[in-house]
Amino acid sequence: MPNSNDLRKDLGDFSSVVCFKAVITGVEDTLGPDGAAVVFTRAGRVRGHNLARSLGVSNTNPEPQKIAELLDGAVGKNGTCLTGVKSVTKEGDNYIVDCFDTVCSAGEEPGSDRKCTFTLGAVQGALEEITGQTFYGEHTDSVLRGGQYDRFVFSPL
């Protein structure tokens, strides 16, 4: 991955949430919600895998709390600002990741049925790369629908 100073000389690494959301809604208008969900989840997974590799944590399989710290550092306030990662817990074979301030939920009306497909995919890809497992991911709780966090549950395949 290039040095962050190499990405854009004058404007820096970050663009607006409004522009990112316009990409999401434009692709949804073109492919429909289900087609767009497949595309954004896959794009997120690729990003997550690459992110974990760049951090040098492939197949390290640390404790869930360490995974939360790694993810939050990379995609949270001190990273790319995709989402804050509150916690990662393990219940049986499943990983549960609680996120806040997800880019996908930003600006959405309460009650919106928006799913955090790109964010879920990015977390899933990183988790897969870190643990060496493959998962099925679900967005089970949403801040848009009364949840305290955007919760993602990852079950091994």
CA torsion through residues 121, 115, 150, 101, sign: positive
pTM over 0.85: yes
Q: What percent of the chain has pLDDT over 90?
A: 89
Within a domain: 7? no
Q: Are strands 94-100 and 135-141 parallel, antiparallel or unpaired?
A: unpaired
Beta partners for 153? 96, 138
Q: For 9-62, how does the pLDDT look when each residue is reduced to its tens digit (9 = 90+)?
A: 888 888 899 999 999 999 999 999 999 999 999 999 999 999 999 999 999 999
Q: For 118-135, how does the pLDDT look when each residue is reduced to its tens digit (9 = 90+)?
A: 999 999 999 999 999 999
Within a domain: 92? yes
Number of domains in the chain: 1
Euclidean distance between the first and final Cα of the chain, in Å? Answer: 29
Contacts of 65 (CB under 8 A, 6+ apart): 87, 88
Within 56-116, residue ranges assigned H as helices are 64-75
Within a domain: 5? no
The whole-number pLDDT of residue 2 equals 47
Using a 10 angstrom Cβ sphere, with 0-12 exposed, 13-18 middle and 19 or more buried, the burial of residue 65 is exposed
Within a domain: 6? no
The whole-number pLDDT of residue 1 equals 43
CATH number, domain of 136, equals 3.30.1380.20
Give the domain extent around 62: 12-156
Within a domain: 4? no
